[in-house]
Structure 1
Amino acid sequence: MSSTDMAQAQPRSGHGTGVFSTLRCNVPLSIGLGILWLVAMVLVAIFADLLRPYGITAMDLTNRLAAPGNVKHWLGTDELGRDVLARLIQSIRVSLVIAFSATILSAVFGTVLGFAAAKFRGWVEHLVLVLADFQAALPFLIMSLAVLAFFGSSMLLIVCLMGFYGWERYARIARGLAISASAQGYASAVVQLGATPLRVYFRHILPNVASTLIVSMTLTFPEIILMESGLSFLGLGVQPPETSLGNMVGFGREYLTRAPWIMLAPAVVIMLTTLSISLVGDWLRDKLDPTVR
């Protein structure tokens, strides 16, 4: 190898090592573990049908309330002999689907209203801010209990109801960032080039404010998981024969002294999932939010 080739190879090697070490140093151990846990939960939700050892309604009456470590049932069974591991896997899928769908719905609804307030100003902005104040002051859990008790519980209604939780945060953030972005030169430039308002906001302004909105989503996601778990715990969330994490905790509380594993398994999953999302959300806020930097 010539001296020129050696000189060219050395910077590339050093640069690659530097990037790797920087990434490694920039991701603390707790954040890395949180990301691994969230990836594992997503994979469990996606491949739940392949991972479940039994059906969620399959009963083994000869092994009712079997303790964890059973040859047939690794995490034990419940009062009807249903496999706790199989129901836990299905519960992870249901809870994550509800939380993810509701978070997306809340983010889209709030962002659209925030952009509308920033675009039209005047009475439109005033109306959006009044609705946001009303939503923030509303005891959402009590309202959810009333709605589910009156209309009945269904997966679609739960997702739509949870989708209205926290939309006012996105509306306020989107409005403020859109007004700030509109005052900058690039928004005015594309308007002068003939771009429609819809294109300006969703093609040019949205990508510039997306990082802040994504961070807000990571903070809302665990709150929705806890909200759905609380509703299911109270018996107005996901209904049998379907199951969710809160549903399992609610039914398992009656056997806390005799078979604590029925309740502890989903409770631990709820705790670790919400903790991981909160940690990763705080880390993303520090990395992506320009106001923090």
Structure 2
Amino acid sequence: MDISKNIITFLPLFISIIAAVIAYFFGQRSKNLDKFYNQTQKSLTEVTSPIYHELKAIKVTNLPEKREKLLQQFFEKYLKESTNIYLIGNRFIIEYFYKLYDKFCEFMRTRNQNDWNEFWLRFEGFFVMIEEEYWKTFEITYSDYKWHQYNMTKNIFFRVWNSVVRFLFVFSKVVVAVTGFLVYLTMYDKIQVFITEKNIFPSNFFNLSLTLLFLSVMFFGVMGIINSYQLAYIQSGESFIRKLIKNKFHGVVKKWDVLWEKILSLPLRNKEIDKIPPMYEKKDIDILSTPTLF
């Protein structure tokens, strides 16, 4: 068949392209990605994790006086000259933190309920951002932890097999991406023929790229099936299927999560939880006794 002959003819070209992509991929991983992982780990251990747990302690505190004291200590800690809050690496979150501090200072000056409400709503938004950042950095830092933990419990033959299967699964993704990009280029080239009457690729190259894309998708599917037994140890956080469903049917997933949370928290149903905790009604305000930041 002509397609078979074309595959053989252009096979060295495809092999060289795929080899170049793989070389670039692993080269970047050994340099830039290693630097990124080091920065992420440092951010998690030195800033994101401490801030997240400090904010969580503030949220669960029921005593208004203690809550206010924890807030003062929190801002004192991360507004020092030696602060390392920059390690979060997210300018929006850092700027939001400074604005949150301004709102807290405003409340400390006025001791007004409206100012407290406005501050706390902003505090809740800041907590959501930090929580998301915390879990993202956690999943990046420990993305391979479960897989290595699982793999190290097997004998040497299973270790080699698991590593090879995982590599081929990742490799199949690269092949699908490369062949998909070739289909896009050849399709664009065919459109250009009608405009400029000139083409870069041979006339039958489009059919060839479609065939290679079909074969690469089959290869990816086979490797996905073979690799399925260890996908649970490779993935971290939400599964791909859940993310896909959540993206298309966000409302349905949200309602399911709310329903599931209610089922899990049946003993707490009769307990009312205020969205905004009560402010600390300090009777005699001694400005000199407040921290120097305020």
Q: TM-score if structure 2 supplies the norm length?
A: 0.28
Query: Which of 1 and 2 has higher RCO (CA within 8 Å, sep 6+)?
Result: 2
Give the greater-gyration-radius structure (CA): 2
